[in-house]
Structure formats: C-alpha cells, structure tokens
Structure 1
Amino acid sequence: MRDPMHTMATCFEQVALFFPGGDPKLQESFEQRAYYLDSRNYERERLADILKKYHEGLGANRETFLMIEELRHKETLAVLTGQQAGVLTGPLYTLFKAITVIRLAEEQRKKLGRPVVPIFWIAGEDHDWLEIHKTFFLNSEDKIISCSLPGDGGGRSVGHQPVPAWDTIEQQLFDLPEGEFKKYVLQHCRQFHEQAENLTQWFALTLQWLLKRWGLIFFDPMLPEFKQLAAPMYEQIIKIYVDVREALTQRTKAWVDLGFQAQIQPLGGEVNLFLAKPERRAILNQGQGFYLRGSDEMLDTDELNALLRKSPGMFSPNVVTRPVVQEFLFPTLAYVPGPGELNYWAQLGQVFSTFGFNMPILFPRFSGVILTPSWQKTLNREGLTLRDVYQGLEAHKERCLRDQDSLEIDNRLQCLRAAIEKGYKELEPLEKIHSNVHELLTRNEEKVGYQIEYLRKKLWQAQRKKYGSVLNRLQKLEAGIAPNKERQERVLNPLYFVVLYGEGFIERIAELPLTGDFQEQVILL
C-alpha cells in the first residue's frame, strides 16, 4: 500500500483531488480558503456565548477568553484538531496536535493579517474504551508502567464516564521517577480530578494547564447547547444519508484504485449518525426503516426526526460526518490530523460536496521524538541511530556481549563437543557386547550434549550479568525511544517529561518549526 503522508508531502498533485482544501505547504491555499470562508455564515454569537460559559467552568485564563471573543467577528477564522479524552491527556501525540494548532493559528494570524484562533475538539462522544482507558510512563529505572481506568466503559460515550477515585490513579503513579517537579505535577492532577465531573472535563482541565499561556479553546460536542447548535446538521444527515453513502463509496474506490488503503470500511446501511439509547449505537437503514445496530426496534423518518427535535443530545456524528458537523459550526481554515486521520479524510471530499461544503486544508500534525540527556549519551556511546532503535536492538545487544567475550565461550565449548564426539566414536567397538549397547551409547551422548548446551546458556547468562550495565543502558534506550516496540509519541504520556523537566518542556516543543509533513523532529532536552 502507498503511504499517503509521503505522497502528500512530496507529490501533492497526485492526491490533490482527495484534499481539495489545497497543499498545506502553500500560503496560497490558506488565502483561497479564507476567501471561501468569508462567503459563509456561522452562528458566531451563540457559539461564542456557549464557549465562554464552558470555559468559565474550566477556569480558563484571559488569553482563552480573548480568543473566544474574537470568534464573534466575521473576519475571525479557526484552526482545529481533535482527539479522544485520554487519561491525563493520553500519549504525546495529543500534545503535539494541540501545539500544532496553536502554532499554525499564530502563523496564519500574521500571514493573513486577521484573527485566527486555535480550537481543540474533544471527541467525548466516542465510546472506544480501549483507545483511551490506559496511558504509559517510565519509572525511575526507565521501565514502562501504566495508569489505567477501572471497568470496561459499558459502551457509553467517554463524556458520560465519571472520573475514578483519585486513590486508584495516585497508586498507579507512585512509581513515577522522583523528578524535581513530581509533587507539583501530582498536586495539579489531583486538583483537576477533584474539579472534573467526567473524563472529558478531566482531560480538558489537564491539557489546558499544560498549554495555558497560549489561549487554546476547547470544544466539548456533548454539551446540550452545542447539540442544539448542531441539530440542523443532524437533520440534514438523516435526510441525505443515501447520497452521503454513495459519495463516500465513490471517493473511497478512487482512493483505493490509486493504491492507498481505505481507513473507513462501511459495513452497510450506515446513516452515519449514532443514537444513545442509552448505549451509543449506530443508526442503520436497510430500506424498511431506521434501526439501531444490535436492536430490533424500528423507526420511520418522522419518528427519528421527532426524536431529534425533542432530544438532540441523544445524537452524535460518526467518523464520516463529524468533520462535516465541524465545518457547519466553525469557520475552519485548516484541520490538523494525525497520519490515520489523513487517510480517512481522503475519503471524505465528495461527502463535503454533498452537503454543499468545501473541505478545509489538512495540515499534518507535528511529529517528534524526545531525547533525554541519558538517551543521547547512550546513542552516541554505542554509535546508534534512531532508526537502529526503531528496528530493535537485540542484534546489537548480542554483538556487545560477544565483543566483550575475550575467553571465547562458544569456541571452547565447541572444542569440548568435538572431543566428546571423538571419545564416543572410540567407544563404538563396545557395541559388540550386546545389541542394546548402541542405543545406550547414543542416549548417553545426547544427555552429555544437553548438559553442554545447558552449560552454554548458563555461561552466557553469566556474561550478560557481568556486562549488565551495558545491556541495561540499551534496554532503557529502547523503553524511552520505542516503548512497547512503537514510536514514543504513540505511547508515552507527556506528564512523564513534565515531572522531570517542568513546564519548560512544553515550551521547548512549541519553539520547533512547523514542517507540515509528519517529518519526525528530534527534541533534545
């Protein structure tokens, strides 16, 4: 399969049809998008009022409220990103997304000469519990530890999930390294935990604290006021779901024909809305009316629309229609996706057109790997590259052990095996004693062979123990740069680095240049 990230970055014209917002590396794309947005109307006053009230509840600072007030003005545009409400912000890439929208909004504010505000859409309507219920840190020995939420989520949206008892969380954070800022970080985490009414709010409070100086606006689509604002789009989705399905099918086929993999795989009958009754389930239609996946209850169009008018809070978009709802609510100059999102957004261009919208610019999020001084030192001492670490260091560990093997363990044991084989060869005349002597000698030789192999393993274990400090450094390097055999940004929680380096760690990331191509940048601490 082709890589859409690489193609978008190096040969945008090959995929321009699928990203009609334009090439994110060209300022002309932003200028054209701004011109298009000036022809659109939005419920700016209602939107700003709701956001203001919501952020008062979050205790947001002056910078955020200034951004919200700017949204009231017709010339103001927005840069958005989104992510599920992970535990204590979730992995590093969530922070990277947020910093990207902040930086891109700042950049376009200067270049376009008009207000551009950063907005983070918290996907609290999602119910993918496995995606958000656990996060990972390193302990003082650079071993991976986790912090997870109890239970299985019960099929409810994340925004309906209560925060667990603080003792449950604090106990799992006990093994965090004793960094200079550990007490400070845990105090804030506990404060936000006590303030939050659900997981979405806990997430917002934590990420807001890390990014407080930049005035990032948070959007919680589960708030009743936002549901009311989005209700006209839900009604439209129900009305033209057949056209939307066809648009998705056609664009997906074209995407696959170019050699890319389809990220969205429709199962059939999707209306592309969810209904919480009380579990969040997909609304389907197979010609006989509407029903919920896994349910036999049927609804006709009038009944479904009546339910929407009465209780819009029960409805939410799916992966196909969430970007369209975003387009309806916000003057979206650009959206900042991760690699997986970029793939499925490529399938949605014709869906946007079906609703009479143009797709926004897709600006790839920042991607980076953080190197602590100790990890840098190990890389330099061992002559390793990041690519070596990503590919695994088992072979390098073995080479290190063998380079230290001045006593030639394997050669000496091989000589022993040869001598034993020769000795048993000299015993072959004894087979004349009885017919079972041959089998006796064979079995005895095998047992001796097993013992030599056992000895070999034990000797190499001793060798590993003798040079354990070298192997330990390499193990720590892998745990830090490629934890769980994955990229660091997809696993480690940013609070691990805040515990060690304070909030200055966040500012270090915010200073790095925007590349707009998912190119991994190295962050030296």
Structure 2
Amino acid sequence: MKVTQIPFKKTGFFSDIMIDYLEENSRLKPFYNNFPNAKGFYNQIEEKKKSFRLQNRIVLSDALQNQYKGFAISDKTQENIDLLKKQNTFTITTGHQLNLFTGPLYFLYKIISTINLAEELSEKFPENQFIPVYWMATEDHDFDEINYFNFDGKKVLWNRKDGGAVGRFSTEGLEQVFNVFTEHLGNSKNAEYLKELFSRGYLQHNNLSDATRFIANELFTEYGLVIIDGDDNSLKEQFTPFVKQELENQVSYKEVTNTIARLEENYNIQVNPREINLFYLGDDFRERIVFEDDVYKINNTALVFTKEELLLELKNNPKAFSPNVIMRPLYQEVILPNLCYIGGGGEQAYWLELKSYFDAVEVPFPILLLRNSVQVLSEKQAKKLSNLNITKEEIFLNQHELLSKKVIENSDLEFSFKDKKEFLQKQFLELKEVATKTDVTFLNAVSAQERKQIKGLENLEKRLLKAEKKRQNDLIERIIKLQNSLLPNQSLEERQRNFSEYYLEYGNTFIKTLKTVLKPLELEFTILEL
C-alpha cells in the first residue's frame, strides 16, 4: 500500500469556490464561521456548548434509541447514543441520499472522513466526546437520483413508481434487482458477503430507510457510527419554532437571496431559495408549500390552509413539514449538538449560502469540511503509469491535453513551437515600437499581421501533433485505455463506481485501509495504491 496526496486544485475536478475555501481566500471569509483547524474547533465547541440545551439532547438520544429498535448494533454505537445526553458530547455529521446499495463510491469516503475526524478530535480535546453521525436523506423525493448504482460499467436499476419521501418507499421489487446484481458477482467469499448484505438489507426490511440503515450499520458499526432519520415526529417537534417563523416571515428567502447577490459576484450559485422553503409531506407525496391569495396551498394537490389552520397542523402534525435543501441544514443543526458538516464540493457550496440565515435565526453555523476524495490505483495500473511516464498528477489532465503532452515528450523531433512563437513575438515587438512613432493604422496592421503569423504557427503545430499522434498510435491507445479505466466517463471514479467493485476484490480490507489512510484535516486529495 502506498499513499500519495496532492492538492485538490491539481485534479481540476473541484470548483473555484471550494479551492478558495480550502485556501482561506479572504473574499469567502464572510460566508462561513470557523475554519476546520484546531483553533476553529475549539471556538465551535465553546459556541455550541452555550446554545444546545440538555432537553434537546434527551429528545435526540431517545429518538435514536427508538429508531434503532429491531436493529443489532454494536456496544460502541449504543454507547455513543447514550453519550449524546451529556453536555460535553458533540457530533460530526455527514449526509447522503438513500442511493441503492450506497450508490457512488464516495459514500464510503464521506462516512470514514466523519469517523476519523471524530476520533482525531477526541485526541485533541480529551475532555469532550465526539460522535460520528450519518444523516440519511430520507425525505428527499428525487427518486431518479438514487434508484441505481453502477457495477463494472453497467447500471443496476430499480424500476418502480415514483412519489413521496424516498425513505418511506416500500422495498418491493428489489428482489429482481438482487437477481440481476448477483449474476455479475461470482461465488467468492467476498461475493457471498455482498449478496448477503444486499439480501438482508433490501429483502428483509420493508422500507428504504430501514434497508439503508441496516447496510450502513453493517459496514461501519464497529466504529460507533450513529445513523439518524430526520423523518421523525419527536425531532420535528424541536424544529417547529423555525418552521413557524418560515411560514410567517420567509426569513430564509430574504437572507439567502441577499447572500447570493454577494456570492455571485465571484462564483456560480449552487441553489436558489423559494419564498417558502418547506414541503408538505404526505404518505405518497412531498409537495411545496406556497402562499397565494392570502392562503397556504400545497402545490399539485387540492389542500389549502388558512394561516391559523396551517399553524394548528404544524402543532398537531409536525412530521408533515419537511425542509427543503435550504432549510434542511438548519434542521440538522437545531436537533444535533453538531460542530462540523462533512460533504462534497456541491454540498459545501450551498452551505456557504446559508450563514446569514443561521445568524438571523440565532443558530451556530457549523464548520464546513470538504470530505476526503480518493483515486484507487491497482498494482497493475501503477506499473502502467510508470511505463508510460505519467505522473500521478497527470492522471487528472484533460485527455486531449494528456495525449498531446505525452506525444510531444515521446517524439524524436527536437522542435519547439513555443520557442518559435516567442521569437516571432519578439520580432513584432520591435516592429510595434517603430509603429508607435508613425500612424495608428500602421500599428493596427502590424498587430493584425502578428496575429496571423501566430495563428499560422498554431495551425502548423496542430498538424504536426496530429501526424505524431498517428505515428504514435500504440502509445495513444495505451494512454486512453489506462486513463478511461481510472476516470470512467472522464470523471472521478468515486462519482461513478460502487464500493462493491473494490469489496469484491479486497473485501473488508478495503474499508480498513481507507480508515487507516484518510486524514480529513489535511485537506488534500488522496491517491491510494493497493
């Protein structure tokens, strides 16, 4: 096993806003609270300690105890649930959709980052306890985003009728998915474990929430991971003051809109708020709450409420009120004694829109931490990279750029178009100096001729490169094949592959290795040679 770390920036797969955040660029400072370092966590602990009530802890611990009924959990997880009642216990949280069989590979990286950070903070601040939490996105309704996973380049798909919160979906129909999946696995010891995990998860539980809890618990229970389902009446009761405030005053829309106006001066915006950032949740639907004609309507239904009726519904049925992407982070921070949210670049980008909203409702804004990202290299792949003289950083180059670079490096022709361009530009610089002393039309003519000459050289360079690529066809094909195997669809493999591909080959050693090597606070991209 060999581990190499490179800056996230070097991969080319992370947004400007994330790179600026990692580099603590001053223009982003107004949009977050504490940075993920020792000083930041010390400050966050003190802030959360003052704001989080004992009663909330008791409700949280009891709700989790109830959610875990019927599940076999480790002593470590049970201990962590009990510890949440203590004032010196804090959570480190990540969230993920209920993707079929965990979905993309980064599911593992998110959770292991969370577990490892909790352990690291326990060493740094021994007077406190830190609990890793996985927040299941049970109330999402984007079924098309979660109803498949990729295995060995093929999509394993669950076809069923869409509608409502995915956590409540029946697991009916997943036996057919199981049969399709197992056809590709073989009969090795690791294959048998994957079959059993899928079967026990989806064929022995009635809904997607319970199935996902079972699978995540099986994979990570020895590390004390606590899994939470926000679709819970007692937890929603804790959130009702903020729901009421949203219905009456639309605080989130006002604050987030103002923040977006400032952020979009430099960055692309991840999500935009609605005037009311809440859904109404029924047994088989999740629809937006809209305020029109002095009444509250549930979009795409016949349900209509006056203000008084809706507030009474909130009091009697808090579970029916479901936060959207703007308010879900607040819900999380209201019900958890949380210090840090660990997520991908897209998630953290929309969290950065929310700080002024948190300030307005007087809830501490958590530390944001970009999850670990990993590129796995097999021994064969590492050897091929070496033979092709491709560095680990070069793996992530745009394929056209990578091929051009390697063809030029491998060429017998000792000819540099760069030198020729620089020489040409120097000659034209002298002409421009003369031109400035004459008529402006002559200066324009010189500039036009310069552009023409440079363009001519660039065209010749492309033709030479094309000829060299044709001559070095074997090299081209080997590079394309290797990079495509490392970056499926020219994307990070963690976004394309499912953990089962590596589990099939390495078994639980794969998870244990990730647990050993991932360092969440080092803020770098990991290349892991197995």
**Structure 1, residues 343-392: CA drift from partner, whole Å, max 9, x if none?**
11111011111211120111111111111222222222222245554446
Larger radius of gyration: 1
Aligned counterpart, 2:271: 264
Residue 192 of structure 2 aligns to a residue in which SS?
A: helix
Letter in 2 for 1:34: I
Residue 92 of structure 2 aligns to a residue in which SS?
A: strand
**Residues 162 and 484 (structure 1 numbering): CA distance in 2 closer, same or farther, change over 3 Å?**
farther
Aligned counterpart, 2:482: 477
CA contact (8 A) 1:122 1:221 kept: yes
CA contact (8 A) 2:89 2:130 kept: yes
Aligned counterpart, 1:251: 259
TM-superposed CA distance for 1:178, in Å, is: 6.3
**Residues 351 and 311 (structure 1 numbering): CA distance in 2 closer, same or farther, change over 3 Å?**
same
C-alpha root-mean-square deviation of aligned residues, in Å?
A: 2.9
**Residue 487 (structure 1) aligned to one of 485, 492, 507:** 492
**Residue 507 (structure 1) aligned to one of 476, 490, 512:** 512
- Paired with 1:323 and 1:92, the residues of 2 have a C-alpha distance of 23
Out of 163-172 and 198-207, give the one that drifted further.
163-172
**Residues 295 and 109 (structure 1 numbering): CA distance in 2 closer, same or farther, change over 3 Å?**
same
CA contact (8 A) 1:137 1:176 kept: no
Aligned counterpart, 2:215: 206
Aligned counterpart, 1:115: 129
TM-superposed CA distance for 1:300, in Å, is: 1.8
Aligned counterpart, 2:97: 84
Aligned counterpart, 2:306: 300
- Paired with 1:112 and 1:396, the residues of 2 have a C-alpha distance of 45
- Paired with 2:182 and 2:524, the residues of 1 have a C-alpha distance of 32
- Paired with 1:207 and 1:136, the residues of 2 have a C-alpha distance of 18
- Paired with 1:160 and 1:180, the residues of 2 have a C-alpha distance of 33
- Paired with 2:21 and 2:144, the residues of 1 have a C-alpha distance of 30
**Residues 395 and 318 (structure 1 numbering): CA distance in 2 closer, same or farther, change over 3 Å?**
closer
**Residue 312 (structure 1) aligned to one of 295, 318, 322:** 318
- Paired with 1:319 and 1:135, the residues of 2 have a C-alpha distance of 23
TM value normalised by structure 2: 0.79
Aligned counterpart, 2:357: 351
- Paired with 2:109 and 2:150, the residues of 1 have a C-alpha distance of 16
Q: Mind listing any 5+ residue stretches in structure 1 that lack a counterpart?
A: 139-143, 405-459
- Paired with 2:485 and 2:174, the residues of 1 have a C-alpha distance of 29
Aligned counterpart, 1:23: 35
Identity between Structure 1 and Structure 2 (%)? 25
CA contact (8 A) 2:92 2:118 kept: yes
TM-superposed CA distance for 1:145, in Å, is: 1.5
Aligned counterpart, 2:73: 60
CA contact (8 A) 2:235 2:335 kept: no
CA contact (8 A) 2:48 2:364 kept: no
- Paired with 1:149 and 1:387, the residues of 2 have a C-alpha distance of 37
TM-superposed CA distance for 1:500, in Å, is: 0.7
Q: Given the alignment of the two structures, is residue 171 of structure 1 paired with residue 176 of structure 2, yes or no? A: no
Aligned counterpart, 1:328: 334
CA contact (8 A) 1:148 1:169 kept: no
TM value normalised by structure 1: 0.79
TM-superposed CA distance for 1:105, in Å, is: 0.8
TM-superposed CA distance for 1:115, in Å, is: 0.5
Q: Given the alignment of the two structures, is residue 189 of structure 1 paired with residue 192 of structure 2, yes or no? A: no
Aligned counterpart, 2:11: none
**Residues 472 and 87 (structure 1 numbering): CA distance in 2 closer, same or farther, change over 3 Å?**
farther
Letter in 1 for 2:184: D
Aligned counterpart, 1:378: 384
CA contact (8 A) 1:364 1:517 kept: no
Q: Mind listing any 5+ residue stretches in structure 2 that lack a counterpart?
A: 1-13, 411-468
CA contact (8 A) 1:233 1:328 kept: no
Aligned counterpart, 1:34: 45
- Paired with 1:396 and 1:360, the residues of 2 have a C-alpha distance of 40
Residue 56 of structure 1 aligns to a residue in which SS?
A: coil
- Paired with 1:13 and 1:394, the residues of 2 have a C-alpha distance of 34
Out of 181-190 and 320-329, give the one that drifted further.
181-190
TM-superposed CA distance for 1:294, in Å, is: 3.4
Letter in 1 for 2:510: F
CA contact (8 A) 1:180 1:500 kept: no
